[in-house]
Amino acid sequence: MLGNFRKDYVALNLPSTVLDSNKGWPKRSLWRWWNQLSRFQRSIVYMLILAICLTILYFISGSRSNPNEENNSLDKMNITPVLPLLSPRKAFPNGDVGETNKKGITEDFINNEINGNKPIEEKNNFDRGGEALNNNDVGQINSPPKEAAIQFKGPTNERQSAVVAAFKHSWKGYKKYAWGHDHLKPITATFQDWFNLGLTIVDSLDTIYIMGLKEEFAEARDWVANSLHFDVNRDVNLFEVTIRVLGSLLSTYHLSEDRMFLDKAIDLGTRLLPCFNSDSGVPFSDVNLATRKAHSPKWSPDSSTSEVTTIQLEFRDLSRCTGDPKFEDAAARVSLHVHALEKNEGLVPIFINANTGHFRSYSTITLGARGDSYYEYLLKQWIQSGRSID
């Protein structure tokens, strides 16, 4: 009887109180739930988590203090840049730098910076020609005195002749294959345009003049006067155009006293001013010269710190040459703004937001690209202003 008994299943009856104590369905572990998802479902979860993280980072970087509050604090500081006039440079009779300039600047720097002395206030100030300035005149802004154009005699030794010959060789190739364009591509004998502003011609003006190449300078001047127009419907970089085009036009004006170069510089400087129309006053990196609309670079919402702090020399000089302070005011305000920002032991991050006016959080600090010329121009601005801006 027992041998014929077949046991098909085992039943286990539990009282209802057991289910009630477990509060319904039993819980599954998160890891088990994750393993049961399909690959497609996991990908969606990954993308959602990534989107949430990026959104949080974006709002953290943008949720800084109101730039208007910092601008108001700058106004309360009552800092007014005092800028003396620098007249067009004077040539030395012997072609060498003045002994006064050597002793007045080089020895001052060595004695005071290395030996720890501080008699700078007792020293004379010097202009770019090496002549002593009256200390009472430092900080005074006057109209530039009219002087004759500086004359250069060309190469006077073998090494200078070799340099001039190399330049003329390059100029000949550029003139033949890329005249009026930004750059020559020497291997393919073609050209490349970055801004459509004849960068090679404009950037070479002062060099040609100093080399005494009258024929080449006449060609370049004719092109600038008749073919260089700034109503170009293309975005250009504020920093590059300032140091390469605006700076060259101004330096050539100082050397030659040719008003045409100053007129071109005024036109260009006016077209670059919209870059400073940001909420913080820190300039946008790019501007369309035709529409005069400025904006951040396409690859980032931030401007490079070195770029926005490496345009002050040219804009300050343009104001001195024209008597119009708007160029200097726009650029000087950037310096004051950056000076008031918190820094890491005097070192600045390499990116700054034009809208908020703050450095990018956790940005790189380096003495290389995008940061180097900030420190360089601190010294240059101090020298340009007659050592009056501390």
Question: Which residue is listed with tokens 């009887």?
Answer: 1
Residue 146: pLDDT band by 50, 70, 90 thresholds? low
- For the four alpha carbons of 311, 314, 317 and 323, in that order, the dihedral sign comes to negative
pLDDT in tens, 243-294: 999 999 999 999 999 999 999 999 999 999 999 999 899 999 999 999 999 9
Beta strands 286-288; 235-237: pairing state: antiparallel
47 contacts: CB under 8 Å, gap ≥ 6: none
Nearest Cα to Cα of residue 211 among 272, 170, 258, 262: 170
CATH 3.50.50.60 is the classification of domain 74-98+139-384? no
Residue 390's pLDDT is 67
Report which of residues 136 and 243 the model is more confident about.
243
| CB contact at 8 A, 165 and 172 | no
Has residue 202 got a pLDDT over 90? yes
Has residue 310 got a pLDDT over 60? yes
What's the angle, vertex CA 66, arms to CA 56 and CA 372, rounded to 5?
A: 80
Residue 126: pLDDT band by 50, 70, 90 thresholds? very low
Q: Quote the crossing angle between the two packed helices 372-384 and 312-322, to the nearest 10°.
A: 30
19-23, 73-77, 375-379, range with the lowest pLDDT: 73-77
Average pLDDT of span 39-58: 88
Q: Where are the beta strands (DSSP E) in 158-244?
A: 183-185, 190-192, 235-237
| CB contact at 8 A, 359 and 110 | no
Residue 40: pLDDT band by 50, 70, 90 thresholds? confident
Residue 80: pLDDT band by 50, 70, 90 thresholds? very low
Residue 175: pLDDT band by 50, 70, 90 thresholds? very high
Our measurement of the distance from residue 389's CA atom to the centroid of its chain's CA atoms, rounded to an integer in Å, reads: 21
Has residue 121 got a pLDDT over 60? no
Residue 357's pLDDT is 85
Number of H helices, E strands in the chain: 18, 9
Q: Which residues are paired to 173 by β-bridges?
A: none
Residue 7: pLDDT band by 50, 70, 90 thresholds? low
Beta strands 302-304; 294-295: pairing state: unpaired
CA–CA gap between residue 95 and residue 103 (Å, rounded): 17
Has residue 176 got a pLDDT over 80? yes
Q: Which helix (H) or strand (E) holds 225?
A: helix 214-227
- For the four alpha carbons of 135, 137, 138 and 139, in that order, the dihedral sign comes to positive
For the chain, the maximum distance between any two Cα atoms, rounded to a whole number of angstroms, is: 135
Residue 92's pLDDT is 38
Residue 4's pLDDT is 55
Has residue 77 got a pLDDT over 50? no
Q: Phi/psi at 237 (nearest 5 deg)? A: -85, 125
Average pLDDT of span 106-115: 41
DSSP 223: H
CA–CA gap between residue 267 and residue 284 (Å, rounded): 19
Residue 33: pLDDT band by 50, 70, 90 thresholds? confident
Has residue 373 got a pLDDT over 70? yes
Residue 355's pLDDT is 83
Average pLDDT of span 194-220: 96
Mean predicted lDDT score pLDDT of the chain: 78
Has residue 222 got a pLDDT over 60? yes
Has residue 99 got a pLDDT over 50? no
Residue 113's pLDDT is 41
Average pLDDT of span 294-299: 84
Burial group, residue 93, by CB count within 10 angstroms (0-12, 13-18, 19+): exposed
Residue 160's pLDDT is 95
Q: Which amino acid is at 368?
A: G
Share of the chain above pLDDT 70, in %: 70
84-88, 190-194, 313-317, range with the lowest pLDDT: 84-88
